[in-house]
Amino acid sequence: MAHDHHQFFQDQLQALETENQLRSIPDIDYGADKYLVLDGRSLLNLGSNNYLGLSRDPILLQAATEALQTYGTTSGASRLVTGTNRLAQELEEDLARFKDQEAAVVLGSGFSANLALLTTFADRHTVVYSDRLNHASIIDGITLSRAKHVRFRHRDMDHLAFLMDRHREAPRHICVTDSVFSMDGDCADLEALVGLCHDANALLAVDEAHAAGVFGQGRGLAHALGLEREVDLHMGTWSKAFASLGGYIAGSRTAVRLLQTRARSFIYSTALPPAVLGTNKAALESVSGTPEAGTALLAKAAELRASLEDLGFHTGNSRSQIIPIMLDTSHKAQAAQAFLKEKGVFVPAIRPPTVPRGQSRLRLSLRADLEHADWTLLQTAFKALADHLGPNVGVEAV
């Protein structure tokens, strides 16, 4: 490599390091399991999105193995060429039924599903209203679509109404939101969004990545609120509660047909491999067969939030299994992560640029497979952290 390129990379890394923003891949083993191994130590894993603890479920393992043995390791091509097999079609049919929608399409990841959704339904004549805390894949999808990107303040429906009014002359309108926000664990006000979208004639697309498998008997927040018919496009991922990989979009037959024809991240990308499709099918069956699992997890999360608040921590507006523990500075969040690690618990520190400056935090992802001993470990570790931090344990979320 030419020296000046090398120097450029070095300078970039140096600048990030100076700002304490250099990211490193942690040396973790078995990241989705209830216990992970970090620096040779076994730690209770409260950083995974494997919310229902399905990653070692014997039925999922068997489904993956059978699919692998039957169809081999790869799907070999894009779905539109020769990459479609029976499993992909069955998965989409099962999902559409589960989500009470006419049709569904499965993609390689949640990230590419959001790119697909926005580039298919938005163009440069469209205004896309997007919550400021929406996931990065939504932001990138909007940028790729060339639509006018209009951000509204997080969950601020008055602000959204104001912006919709300001852009009312635009030819097309789409509103997009996470249903459960990934860093705050709070929920979109879907009821208000449905009303505003109705009045502004805006398409409503909801990213249920963190709600699927948990809210609404596993179907998502839209279902939990009885709004599944009012939301036009239901996006989600197989990589979190479903303990696998891939993304999906469910909606009307025409919407899905258009996606299959237009979405470049669907058309020009190899279909998910059979083992993954088999896993997804089994995970969907498991979630639909145990609708109480998500509800129980949410109840546990409410209990945990209350006990953290009793210790003096601030958990923001979390209403889900994702619990932020607000710690202000990046340094404080990292020190808290290190402290908990010494107590046998892994909870990742989240800091800028992922969250705004002054809002660094621990992000605890509660999981359904905790047993009594795990709870004791968790409670003991946080009690010790609260004692260690003293009276100013937390800060209010701004």
Residue ranges in 101-130 that form contacts with ligand PMP under rule CB under 6 A: 109-111, 114
Q: Of 223 and 332, which has the nearer Cβ to ligand PMP?
A: 223
End-to-end CA distance of the chain: 46
Helix ranges (DSSP H) in the chain: 3-18, 58-71, 86-98, 110-121, 136-145, 157-166, 190-200, 221-224, 253-262, 264-267, 274-289, 292-310, 330-342, 372-389
Regarding 178 and contact with ligand PMP (CB under 6 A), the answer is yes
Q: Of 182 and 286, which has the nearer Cβ to ligand PMP?
A: 182
Size of the site for ligand PMP (CB under 6 A): 14
Q: Are 367 and 52 in contact (CB under 8 A)?
A: yes
CA dihedral 226, 259, 55, 84 (to 10 degrees): 130
Q: Of 207 and 374, which has the nearer Cβ to ligand PMP?
A: 207
The reply to whether 182 belongs to the active site is yes
Q: Are 102 and 256 in contact (CB under 8 A)?
A: yes
The token duo for 34 is: 């209830």
Q: How far is the CB of 149 from ligand PMP (least distance, A)?
A: 17
Q: Of 247 and 394, which has the nearer Cβ to ligand PMP?
A: 247
Q: Are 232 and 199 in contact (CB under 8 A)?
A: no
Residue choice 50, 130, 182, 286 for contact with ligand PMP (CB under 6 A): 182
Taking residues 208 to 247 in sequence order and writing x for each that binds ligand PMP by CB under 6 A, - otherwise, the string is: -xx--------------------------x-x-------x
Residue ranges in 126-155 that form contacts with ligand PMP under rule CB under 6 A: 135, 137
Rounded to an integer, what distance in angstroms lies between the CA atom of residue 342 and that of residue 395?
23
The reply to whether 332 belongs to the active site is no
Q: Of 290 and 354, which has the nearer Cβ to ligand PMP?
A: 354
Residue ranges in 241-280 that form contacts with ligand PMP under rule CB under 6 A: 247
CB atoms within 10 A of CB 291: 12
Q: How far is the CB of 31 from ligand PMP (least distance, A)?
A: 13
- Which is nearest to 170 in space by CA: 123, 125, 124? 125
Q: How far is the CB of 344 from ligand PMP (least distance, A)?
A: 26
Which of 173, 210, 223, 332 is an active site residue? 210
Using CB positions, name the residue nearest to ligand PMP: 110
Residues paired with 393 in a beta bridge:
none
Regarding 324 and contact with ligand PMP (CB under 6 A), the answer is no
- Angle, CA of 48, 53 and 54, to the nearest 5°: 120
The token duo for 59 is: 């039925």
Q: Of 110 and 251, which has the nearer Cβ to ligand PMP?
A: 110
Q: Of 362 and 381, which has the nearer Cβ to ligand PMP?
A: 362
The reply to whether 240 belongs to the active site is yes
Regarding 85 and contact with ligand PMP (CB under 6 A), the answer is no
Which of 112, 179, 182, 360 is an active site residue? 182
Tell me the C-alpha to C-alpha distance, in Å, between residue 172 and each of 68, 125, 155, 175, 308.
Answer: 44, 6, 22, 10, 45
Rounded to an integer, what distance in angstroms lies between the CA atom of residue 281 and that of residue 238?
10
Residues paired with 180 in a beta bridge:
187
Q: How far is the CB of 52 from ligand PMP (least distance, A)?
A: 16
Rounded to an integer, what distance in angstroms lies between the CA atom of residue 151 and that of residue 131?
6
Quick one: which segment of 17-25, 26-34, 79-87, 203-211 binds ligand PMP (CB under 6 A)?
Answer: 203-211
Q: How far is the CB of 312 from ligand PMP (least distance, A)?
A: 28
Rounded to an integer, what distance in angstroms lies between the CA atom of residue 33 and that of residue 174?
38
Q: Which residues are catalytic?
A: 182, 210, 240
* Interacting residues toward ligand PMP by CB under 6 A: 109-111, 114, 135, 137, 178, 182, 207, 209-210, 237, 239, 247
